[in-house]
Structure 1
């Protein structure tokens, strides 16, 4: 079981990501991929460590892996849905700007509720606990990447 401080840190990271989505910010085609890359590295490293720790004491079945894959697929789908709720426009000087909406926030909340549900499902079905904070970082990375790639397509059209 993960420590309370790990969950607190994860909650703060999630709050920061959502907060940044709701502010008007310049749209940077490449710079916006930095956060997903950082979360991806943290998620991959955490998952690798988590799996190595789990298999020492508990045989890893296919169910947690399938549910983890399904969870990450849902992250991509919800990232694509969030991309449609983010406003993208050019200001008077021609800069591209972006800002999330109330619907963006709702989809973020749904996204984390789905991740939590998958984690509880795995814990109940197999007792592995593979979807802790480490997979949350991978989940954010995939969701943000999908969101950014679709936003980039919309911004290019402007």
Structure 2
């Protein structure tokens, strides 16, 4: 089965990842709620993507347990990468008392490893499903969980800044 939506989804996802990484490397304030807006938007897109992915699989045959287990595992991997990246973000208080954050080279490396892990897991999910685009379509949920986890932990770390 050939589906061009998978390629378009992948290109769009890579653009989103590039923008997220670019944003991570900028010095910016640690916000109480603002850091959760992007993960929330990605979460909505992720829910839609997973729904689309499941529909693309069941259109051809029943969805089995293995792709679902792999999907859940991939989302756990996203959270684990988010936890690891949160530790690499530099946090400090500026002279005016505002708490700032900035990703490091390690943050970027972990983002790239995270993307590679999702691509591998996505291919495995789609292979296990036997049809459809569940692995590819889950990229936004993967990003939402990873970025949301990272941002929540960075906010927690920022609370401890003298």
Unpaired runs of 5+ residues, structure 2, are none
Deviation string 1:103-155 (CA, Å, 9 cap, x unpaired) is: 000000110111011112123333233111x3110001000111011111111
Q: Does the 8 Å CA contact 2:30/2:99 hold for their aligned counterparts?
A: yes
- For residues 5-154 of structure 1, what are the structure 2 equivalents within 5 Å? 5-128=8-131, 129-132=133-136, 134-154=137-157
SS class of match (2:62): coil
User: Hey, which bits of structure 1, 4+ residues long, moved more than 3 A?
Assistant: none
In the comparison of the two structures, how many residue pairs are matched? Answer: 157
SS class of match (1:23): coil
Using structure 1 for the length normalisation, give the TM-score. Answer: 0.94
CA distance in 2, matches of 1:126, 1:50: 10
RMSD: 1.2
SS class of match (2:38): helix
Using structure 2 for the length normalisation, give the TM-score. Answer: 0.92
